[in-house]
């Protein structure tokens, strides 16, 4: 959410205050840096989620039948713990994965489209 606001404010700053192309390029580089900062976190969060979802199945297909009784009991307990997938959470509320990245990116896009629409309507509205 904070990243959405930062990128949204930066893009609004580009549209309103950036008068020359050099300032626009600088602001766009900042927006790209923000997105590049968030994407790896979301990617590795998604990787952790995917790997934890496959873990129980991988344990089942391992050669556990030929192991001793103690090992098999520990494997059952471990498999029960893998039933709930591991995921990274931001503030214990928001999951950090690629779905979150797409959500943040779409919110930024939505805010900017609304701003451009309002700006277009303001420019082309009859003055009173």
- pTM, full prediction: 0.68
For the stretch 44-77, pLDDT in tens is 999 999 999 998 888 888 888 888 999 999 999 9
Distance between CA atoms of residues 14 and 23, nearest Å: 8
Per-residue model confidence (pLDDT) at position 126: 73
Distance between CA atoms of residues 26 and 18, nearest Å: 10
Distance between CA atoms of residues 99 and 42, nearest Å: 8
For the stretch 68-121, pLDDT in tens is 999 999 999 988 888 888 888 988 888 999 998 898 888 877 777 777 777 777
Helix (H) / strand (E) containing 89: strand 89-90
């Amino acid at each position: 959410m904070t990243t959405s606001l930062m990128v949204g404010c930066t893009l609004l700053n580009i549209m309103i205050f950036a008068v020359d192309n050099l300032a626009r390029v600088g602001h766009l580089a900042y927006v790209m840096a923000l997105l590049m900062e968030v994407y790896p976190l979301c990617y590795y969060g998604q990787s952790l989620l995917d790997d934890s979802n496959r873990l129980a199945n991988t344990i089942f297909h391992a050669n556990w039948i030929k192991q001793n009784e103690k090992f098999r009991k520990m494997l059952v307990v471990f498999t029960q713990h893998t039933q709930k997938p591991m995921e990274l959470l931001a503030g214990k509320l928001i999951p950090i994965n690629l779905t979150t990245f797409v959500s943040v990116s779409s919110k930024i896009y939505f805010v900017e489209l609304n701003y451009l629409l309002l700006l277009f309507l303001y420019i082309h509205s009859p003055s009173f």
